[in-house]
Amino acid sequence: MYERLLKTIGNLGAPKILVVGDYMLDVYVYGDAVRISPEAPVPVLKVAETESRCGGAASVAADVAALGAVPICIGVLGRDANGSLLKEHLTALGAEISGLIEVADRPTTTKQRLIGLAQHRHRQQLMRIDQESSELLPDDLCVEIVQKYREALDQVDIVCLQDYDKGLLPPAVCKEMIRLATSAGLKVLVDPTHNHDYSKYAGATLLTPNRCDASTVVGFEVRTAADAARAAEHLARDLSLNAVVITLDKDGAYLLTEDIREMVSARPRNVYDVTGAGDIVLATLAVSLAADSDYLTAAHLANLAAGIEVEKSGATPVTVSEMVHEIAGQFGARNVKLRSLDSLMEEINWRRSRGQTVVFTNGCFDVIHRGHIEYLRFCKAQGDVVVVGLNSDSSVRAIKGPERPINGQYDRAAVLSGLETVDFITIFDDPSVLGLIKKVKPDVLIKGADWGSKEGVVGSDFVESYGGKVLLAPLVQGKSSSATIERIRTLQAGES
């Protein structure tokens, strides 16, 4: 599964995803809850920062864009400042927004969250203020929306319907959209609203209700995997669906298709905020399936993405880099220190996105001794992540002569992997390390003090050109691999 997930997430391409639904603007007002108001028993929020993000179907579009796909947007906005701001956000993401219709007598759906920070602790949502209209759209506007939808179908690879029950997807419109898409040979994925009647979604390809929504529709509580299996069978049969993914919060998700009945488990999470979890599931399924993924792989990726999402504040897109890191962590690859260059760069990019400092050094590390241990300890003290460029056997021979190395490259890598001061190792063939340094672009480049001055260190000019540091590590006198090997040979000669 590890290889399949990595291959899929690395080859998503840039499919075009039609995202239809209730477009919203999420506004976050952050501040310090400094005291209780003398006017009423409520906290006083001293505003420090205000930000806005894509919400609802716009959140799905943002998630689609973060995965490298192109969202084609269809929905309704108010002719107001919030609508203009939401269009700016979507345009910046590379979304196609000509299908967003502005109306004068309807506000842009906006959810404003007041978030307080008390005594420098975890941010806490104090209140949410909603500005919206859930009234059904007039018939002429529905006709215009369906027409824009019809015109977009020949440009896209898959269709998403995100229904928050704000009036855009009444039964007649929803059914017509599903009919048009399936007639055009396109999959239709639906994230349904909380409702007792799902008949308007009949004939869709895939439905993604959460545990609560599924329980409401099927008439029994979905608590266990067996309950989820029964509920999925019920939905697939009654609505003529090809697939059902019931999201089960901390338990993962249940997938049903014609051939698959499988529980996709989730690892324990430090849940910060569940906002946007349903959006990222829909977006990840859509992009994966548009890239010709099978349902099981797509469900695994969507489950992983939702897990990353709930550890963030608010509806925040999940990137391909974060997905790669998560896959590596869950399937054990992150515990493997020896990396290919591509895998190493994915890891380094992820670490840098978290503000971590990358330290780089290189060498043969043939016969590990105290000098190496002290040297690598010095490296670790200079930053967060220590990357060792390890000379391959052929490059060691080119540098040291035909009798070296004593230990093969994978044996040397295994020994280095056992040191807590080493985070990652990559093997390189070129006798010069400059090409690898240019790939890694370390924040700190380190070599031993035997180089004399940092100006002579290979790659020093390059590293300093972008503000990186070059350091010389102190040496333990009398300790070197060559000296150790020579001493062993002398002892062997004496014994013979």
The β-bridge relationship of strands 188-191 and 206-207 is parallel
Quick one: CA dihedral 315, 321, 327, 330, positive or negative? Answer: negative
d(C-alpha 326, C-alpha 304), whole Å: 7
**Measured CA distances, 340 to 57, 301, 393, 444 (Å):** 38, 23, 16, 21
d(C-alpha 118, C-alpha 237), whole Å: 50
List Cβ<8 Å contacts ≥24 apart for 229-236.
229/254, 229/256, 229/261, 232/256, 232/261, 235/198, 235/207, 235/209
Contact 371, 479 (CB under 8 A): yes
Return the H-helix or E-strand segment holding 298: helix 295-310
- Rounded to 5 degrees, what are φ and ψ at 242? -80, -30
d(C-alpha 109, C-alpha 23), whole Å: 7
**158 DSSP β-pair partners:** 17
d(C-alpha 220, C-alpha 227), whole Å: 8
Contact 307, 264 (CB under 8 A): no
Tokens 């089960």 belong to: 248
**405: cis peptide before it, omega within 30°?**
yes
d(C-alpha 84, C-alpha 148), whole Å: 20
Rg (CA), the chain: 28
Query: For residue 432, what are its two tokens?
Result: 């010069």
Contact 387, 395 (CB under 8 A): no
Q: Is 461 a catalytic residue?
A: no
- Rounded to 5 degrees, what are φ and ψ at 289? -70, -35
Catalytic pick among 22, 80, 279, 366? 279
- Rounded to 5 degrees, what are φ and ψ at 187? -70, 145
DSSP 8-state class, residue 79 = S
So which residues are the catalytic ones? Answer: 279
